Structure 1
Amino acid sequence: MAEPLPDLIEEIVADNGSDDIQAVAEQLLPAEDVEIATLLESLPVEERMSLWQVLPDVRKLDVLVEMRSDPREVLISATPDDKWSAILLGIDAEDLLELMDSLPSKLLDLAIQALDEQQEAYFRDATQFPDEQVGHWISHEMLVLPLNAKVRDGLRLIRRNVPDHCDSIFLVNRSGHFSAAVKLTSVFGAPEHLPLVELTEESMPVIKGTDDSTTASLLVQRSGYAALPVIDDNNKLLGRHDILSASELVNENYERQVMATAGMDEDEDLFAPVAKSARNRALWLGINLLTAFMASWFIGLFEATLQQVVALAVLMPVVASMGGIAGSQTLTLIVRGLALGQITSANLKALMTKELKVGGVNGVIWALVIGIVAFMWFSDPLLGVVICLAIFLNILAAALAGVVLPVILEKLKIDPALSGSVILTTVTDIVGFVAFLGLGSLFLL
């Protein structure tokens, strides 16, 4: 990409995506597919659609493959039906496996029809495995020779074509069962009449198609080989799992775990619709509410000691906890965006507005729920009003802090991934307690 990602975001968003969008598209022509995908994910939906429309159709398929599913589905839904024949031209099984969960059934059928006979067979075989098994993700581009092949056969095969991330020739018997592997470096310089089996690597690990994809990927990363053979239960060679695919699956798994700590999906779009973002996060807020009320119940055991302020003391953890989880969700999304260079001063305002709207939606919903519960629990309507207002204010403050804090920490050269959650918890606790106890002092005492 000719310009760094933050500069392109500035250029598109600052000009409202209208003046120079064609010029930006022309700049992107030499860029890598993953760079274009990252740029599209970094833009508010309106600017994203403008850039997508002017991208050449021949680039769109590869860009979609590199995108997360949420922003990808937005683009797929907005693409006219008559464009898809051109976009899907040249699709292969690996591309379709990546896209299949995002494509509506009509487009999936069209994509399958666009596969050639061999690629369709690969696709059908891969879909026999669920996506958590490595057999779903294998590559069929590999160097394979019969067990009785000689060095001259290996050299001829290498001259014809060597796939990316391939450092070995796989040897199979007449039934297609994997027998051994030969490093390419061992073939060069060896006598041409020598059987390849005499140069085989005894220590190469083998992966089964039913193995967990993350476990198999870690095995590839640690093996010292560019790719490992994948076999079925009968030892028949299915394909290979290379270091690039392995690294992508490991990274996706790590990102999934990080996002899951805040109850979020790693595929969530930075600029997903407010209703969708609120819905995705509401469940975790509800689960957190149950644990918060459990803590409140334990505090309630000391009711006799706390006397007049017992209700406030019992409900204080609810206020702090709801703000904490809401802020953590926003913080996690922003930290990921900062790590990928997707957030700049140009799109920060739009992102903050979106997060405040999400906080407002969830704030209203859960403030009402908690207010009603508090009223029924203590038979005090004013107490219900106090906690309702406090929850709403704290969730809004958490959304604001979740956006602003990591940006400030990054400018101060402090890692927001390490320290952001600690500071955020402090902020939400202080705001929650001050709002709750302050309102309680006004209305209840």
Structure 2
Amino acid sequence: MNEYQDVSLLIARLAQADEQQQIVQLNEMVDSGLDEGSLANLLEAFPVEQRVRMWRNLPLELHIPVLTEMRSEVRFSVINALSEAELKLTLAKLDNLSLIEWADSLPEEIIADAMRLISRDELELYDRAKEYSDEEIGRWAEQKVFTLPIGISVKRAKVLLDKYQFETPKYVYLTNRAKKFRGMVLYSDIVTAPEISQLKALAQTELVTLNAHQSINDAIDAIEHSDVPVVPVVDENESLVGHVDWQFALNTQREIYEARLMAGTGMDEGDDLFTPVIKGTKKRGLWLGINLLTAILASMTIGMFEDVISKVVALAVLMPIVASMGGIAGSQTLTLMVRGMALNQVTQGNRFALLKNELSIGSINGVIWAVIIGGIAGLWFQSAVLGSTIALAIVINMATAAFFGVIIPILLDKFKLDPALAGSVILTTMTDVIGFFAFLGTASLVML
């Protein structure tokens, strides 16, 4: 069993070493059993020139697994630095799952070269996987699984395993004469069972299975509720397509988390820590431009009440409180909705109940905090009218924030847009505009 190693400590060690020492230390890490995912994270922490040099010095059998574990932009930075000969040698070693992983993030000409260079068997598996969409688990299932007829004896099973299996599988999948999936058995059970036993007597038949057209989210849920760390994937004819395992579930969950974490700022889960300056500037500049438009809308709302602000300076001091309270309240509801939608918990049947519940929470919190903030503002500026004005704005804005926190992700999902990507920007704009309008509008009526 490999001992867990803190990648941050390994990165610190490599960063302090010179070029020659880096390669020596990297090989020591490989020898200690550092897995491909950790190696990928380690290389991602260095500028492109250094990561390419370290990748080249990895054992050849790790080149493809480490590249596949990398984020898409990082992977491309390495591939883009290779010579034509190096690239062809690398592409020729791709397996079907790696090619699927790479296909959406590399130029078409590189993928076309890969399809010409990989083995015929891997290409056939790749073509089968491409029959399913990106969101269907059949595309991502590991198809290289070992199968045996369920009706044979253990003795016959051992002969077949010895004859055809070069690597020892943990599980062997069982099919009937019509090639339909009927169960699976531990390899160790076959090895230790009496040879006169029938294979079907060892089989686990009450298993969680997935249809190849089911979603990736369904696969993650199935693995969570499975008694074994793998879930067989079958097609509509019950023929075995392959399997997905707990590692797939963990990696996918991590990618979903990272994607949602970065989406709110217009970033992508595949972005490189050392992204090229011009490319990074362009990508982030687009999001900054969108944010500018929303900020202008909020500023225009404030501009409508320039007269009252110039006469009652305290309004300018208190405006950030109105915006902040509405923004936080809306973000809480939005986060809850995005999580619920990701887990398929939000449906047409419970949307109204969710809206009612969130409006109740927003309104009650609005009243409580309106009293507190209104009291503080009234004492601060010695004005009961000003305290009452901001209190009313807080109630309106927090109730409105709860409303839009529910409605916005539902509408974005209906139009096939990611609520985690655009939801926070739209919500912030709505709470700012409505909060400022409620606060300054009320002030203009009662304080001028």
Pair in the same fold by TM > 0.5: yes
| TM-score (normalised: structure 1) | 0.61
Q: In structure 2, do the counterparts of structure 1 residues 276 and 316 end up closer, same or farther at CA, with 3 Å as the change threshold?
A: farther
Give 1:73 deviation, angstroms. Answer: 0.7
Q: In structure 2, do the counterparts of structure 1 residues 77 and 301 end up closer, same or farther at CA, with 3 Å as the change threshold?
A: same
Contact 1:49 1:75 (C-alpha < 8 Å) held by counterparts: yes
Q: Distance in 1 between matches of 2:306 and 2:281?
A: 35
Q: Distance in 2 between matches of 1:163 and 1:240?
A: 17
Per-residue CA deviation, residues 353-374 of structure 1 (Å, 9 max, x unaligned), is xxxxxxxxxxxxxxxxxxxxxx
State the one-letter code of the partner of 1:83: E
Match of 1:210, SS? Answer: coil
Aligned to 2:343: none
Aligned to 1:100: 103
Question: 1:204 is matched with which residue: 196, 201, 207?
Answer: 207
Q: Distance in 1 between matches of 2:137 and 2:254?
A: 15
Aligned to 2:74: 71
Aligned to 2:141: 138
Q: Distance in 1 between matches of 2:194 and 2:56?
A: 56
Give 1:128 deviation, angstroms. Answer: 1.8
Question: 2:174 is matched with which residue: 171, 175, 179?
Answer: 171
Q: In structure 2, do the counterparts of structure 1 residues 21 and 171 end up closer, same or farther at CA, with 3 Å as the change threshold?
A: closer
State the one-letter code of the partner of 1:93: N
Per-residue CA deviation, residues 5-60 of structure 1 (Å, 9 max, x unaligned), is 44554455456x55644444544552433333222100123433443454455542
Listed as ranges, the gaps of 5+ residues in structure 2 are: 328-448
Question: 1:234 is matched with which residue: 232, 237, 247?
Answer: 237
Question: 2:228 is matched with which residue: 225, 228, 240?
Answer: 225
Is 1:252 the equivalent of 2:255?
A: yes
Aligned to 1:150: 153
Give 1:307 deviation, angstroms. Answer: 3.1
Q: In structure 2, do the counterparts of structure 1 residues 178 and 19 end up closer, same or farther at CA, with 3 Å as the change threshold?
A: closer
Is 1:48 the equivalent of 2:56?
A: no
Q: Distance in 1 between matches of 2:133 and 2:26?
A: 37
Q: Distance in 2 between matches of 1:85 and 1:250?
A: 32
Per-residue CA deviation, residues 395-414 of structure 1 (Å, 9 max, x unaligned), is xxxxxxxxxxxxxxxxxxxx
Question: 2:281 is matched with which residue: 278, 283, 291?
Answer: 278
Is 1:124 the equivalent of 2:127?
A: yes
Aligned to 1:110: 113
Q: Distance in 2 between matches of 1:150 and 1:277?
A: 61
Contact 1:165 1:242 (C-alpha < 8 Å) held by counterparts: no
Q: Distance in 1 between matches of 2:312 and 2:241?
A: 69
Is 1:265 the equivalent of 2:268?
A: yes
Aligned to 2:430: none
Give 1:65 deviation, angstroms. Answer: 1.3
Q: In structure 2, do the counterparts of structure 1 residues 5 and 198 end up closer, same or farther at CA, with 3 Å as the change threshold?
A: closer
State the one-letter code of the partner of 2:254: N
Is 1:85 the equivalent of 2:117?
A: no
State the one-letter code of the partner of 1:108: I
Aligned to 1:215: 218
| TM-score (normalised: structure 2) | 0.60
Give 1:124 deviation, angstroms. Answer: 0.8
Match of 1:266, SS? Answer: coil
Q: Distance in 2 between matches of 1:178 and 1:255?
A: 35
Question: 2:41 is matched with which residue: 29, 33, 38?
Answer: 38
Aligned to 1:409: none
Aligned to 2:361: none
Q: Distance in 1 between matches of 2:128 and 2:9?
A: 43
Contact 2:64 2:90 (C-alpha < 8 Å) held by counterparts: yes
State the one-letter code of the partner of 1:284: W
Contact 1:21 1:50 (C-alpha < 8 Å) held by counterparts: no
Q: Residues 317-336 of structure 1 correspond to what in structure 2 (within 5 A)?
A: none
Q: In structure 2, do the counterparts of structure 1 residues 147 and 260 end up closer, same or farther at CA, with 3 Å as the change threshold?
A: same
Q: In structure 2, do the counterparts of structure 1 residues 252 and 157 end up closer, same or farther at CA, with 3 Å as the change threshold?
A: farther
Q: In structure 2, do the counterparts of structure 1 residues 81 and 237 end up closer, same or farther at CA, with 3 Å as the change threshold?
A: same
Contact 1:57 1:87 (C-alpha < 8 Å) held by counterparts: no
Contact 2:173 2:181 (C-alpha < 8 Å) held by counterparts: yes
Contact 1:165 1:244 (C-alpha < 8 Å) held by counterparts: no
Match of 2:148, SS? Answer: strand
* Aligned positions, number: 321
Give 1:314 deviation, angstroms. Answer: 11
State the one-letter code of the partner of 1:65: T
Q: Distance in 2 between matches of 1:316 and 1:270?
A: 36
Contact 1:230 1:239 (C-alpha < 8 Å) held by counterparts: yes
Q: In structure 2, do the counterparts of structure 1 residues 49 and 190 end up closer, same or farther at CA, with 3 Å as the change threshold?
A: closer
Listed as ranges, the gaps of 5+ residues in structure 1 are: 325-445
Aligned to 1:404: none
Q: Distance in 2 between matches of 1:134 and 1:315?
A: 52
Q: CA RMSD in A?
A: 3.9
Contact 1:214 1:253 (C-alpha < 8 Å) held by counterparts: no
Per-residue CA deviation, residues 153-186 of structure 1 (Å, 9 max, x unaligned), is 444455664967744x322233322233345576
Q: Distance in 2 between matches of 1:54 and 1:315?
A: 59
Q: In structure 2, do the counterparts of structure 1 residues 187 and 14 end up closer, same or farther at CA, with 3 Å as the change threshold?
A: closer
Q: In structure 2, do the counterparts of structure 1 residues 110 and 152 end up closer, same or farther at CA, with 3 Å as the change threshold?
A: same
Q: Distance in 2 between matches of 1:14 and 1:290?
A: 44
Please identify the structure whose Cα radius of gyration is greater.
2
State the one-letter code of the partner of 1:144: T
